[in-house]
Amino acid sequence: MTQAKELKFAEFCRVLAYWEQHANPDGAAESDMERRARRDVYLTQSVEGMWLGAITLDPISGSIVSDELRRLENELFEADRAKARLELGREPKLHELARTSPQRRADALVEMATRSGTAPADGRRPEPLFSVLVGYETMYGRIVQMANGQVVSPDSLFRWFDSASFERAVFAPGRRVEVSITSRFFTGATRRAIELRDKECTHDYCDLPADQCQIDHIIPYSQGGPTTQENGAVACPFHNRQRYERPPPDG
């Protein structure tokens, strides 16, 4: 009950998934297979010519589709934002953009289909990334989650062994092994470790996934803050900028 009151919704769902896999690993594997069996796509044309549909996907397939749809939607958002900024001569507000978010998602779906039809047959397919978490944080067990934080059972990975990438992250009780670098920016293993640890924007009221966020220093680099795991945190672009915005002067 305490965690249900204190954790963000997405983080609490992950905790429940961790608990389920440790309490009943066989049942968790069966649930994954049952979810995959329920996959379904419905798309039909109405009498007015409009296309109506619905989609049901298992956690892994759904993450692949959702991540790519979101990536293309972000591309369209930046294009709309750049066009509006040029026309207005200032930073536009959301309602001043040419398309709404649902409209951009619809256009992104069409873009996915268009790119699929024009992609070369021998082109390199993107590989989903699975993170295997080992150690104290997962109650001395093994938890598998996708790069976006979606928790899945190990048994569900069998069909992906030849077409996915895997990484292992080791957590230890107390202070973890720290890798320090002198670079100004969080890159490589240090950046990935922070993404796996925080999973999403660390602002209290934001749950944007870590792969869409920035990694910045808690103690600013300009003030001597080191580029280490302990001094790094995940923040979405908006909340990261907000940290450095000065309040307007009084009066």
Domain range annotation of the chain = 57-115, 128-244
What is the Cβ-side half-sphere exposure of residue 177, based on CA atoms within 13 angstroms?
6
Phi, psi of 90 (to 5 degrees): -155, 175
Low-confidence spans in the chain with pLDDT less than 50: 136-141, 174-182, 248, 251
Phi, psi of 22 (to 5 degrees): -80, -35
Asked whether 56 and 40 are in contact (CB, 8 A), the reply is yes
Each residue of 149-195: pLDDT tens digit? 677 776 677 677 666 766 666 655 544 433 334 456 787 777 888 88
Ramachandran sector of residue 14 (left: φ over 0; alpha: ψ -120 to 50; beta: rest): alpha
Asked whether 208 and 198 are in contact (CB, 8 A), the reply is no
Per-residue model confidence (pLDDT) at position 185 = 75
| pTM (predicted TM-score) | 0.57
**DSSP secondary structure letters along the chain:** -HHHHHS-HHHHHHHHHHHHHHH-HHHHHHHHHHHHHT-EEEEEE-TTS-EEEEEE--HHHHHHHHHHHHHHHHHHHHHHHHHHHHHHSSPPPGGGSSS-HHHHHHHHHHHHHHHHHHS-TTPPPP--EEEEEEEGGGTTEEEEEETTS-EE-GGGGGGGTTT-EEEEEEE-SSSPP---B--SS--HHHHHHHHHHH-B--STT---BGGGSEEEESS-GGGT--BSSTTEEEE-HHHHHHHHPPPPPP-
